[in-house]
Structure 1
């Protein structure tokens, strides 16, 4: 088992329907690539709340912002595969 940080981070807030959609999309992409992902709740982290506020969900790839509000699944898939290749 890998001890690396997951490559994908999904930043969300409870009760966010776009976050629910993003969670499903991230799970679908990660299922294709085998990459692990983690979800972080802005209500539990004041810095995340300050950085992202209402601009949620946000997808980070390798710690960098990849997109927000919706997951561009094909682009994320391509970027994961490109970086791994």
Structure 2
């Protein structure tokens, strides 16, 4: 199931919250054997317009699940739900 989980962190350069969010995401994804992608919103006008004031943003399978400060416990719970036996049903 975890092969179908796409974890993405929307960021922009110079954002201290983004650095913290990436570290939290990296640690949590490692626990679940998942990778994640980082997307710089400055390279996408639509993302920049939509998320300029909410960076960083966590998306799991395309759905916004968190922004600004990522709580490690919440992130682990979200990943457990996304990779669990009923995920994708």
Q: What's the TM-score once normalised by structure 1's chain length?
A: 0.88
DSSP 3-state at the match of 1:67:
strand
Counterparts of 1:47-58 in structure 2 under 5 Å?
Answer: 47-58=46-57
6-15 or 75-84, larger mean C-alpha shift: 75-84
Confirm or deny: 8 A CA contact 2:12 2:40 kept in the other structure: yes
Q: Tell me the CA shift for residue 82 of structure 1.
A: 2.0
Confirm or deny: 8 A CA contact 2:5 2:82 kept in the other structure: no
Tell me the matched-pair count: 83
Q: Distance in 1 between matches of 2:81 and 2:5?
A: 16
Q: Distance in 1 between matches of 2:78 and 2:53?
A: 25
CA RMSD of aligned residues (A): 1.7
Q: Distance in 2 between matches of 1:5 and 1:12?
A: 22
Unaligned runs of 5+ in 2: 85-89
Q: What's the TM-score once normalised by structure 2's chain length?
A: 0.84
70-79 or 11-20, larger mean C-alpha shift: 70-79
Confirm or deny: 8 A CA contact 1:6 1:38 kept in the other structure: no
Q: Distance in 2 between matches of 1:5 and 1:11?
A: 19
1:43 is matched with 42
Q: Tell me the CA shift for residue 33 of structure 1.
A: 0.7
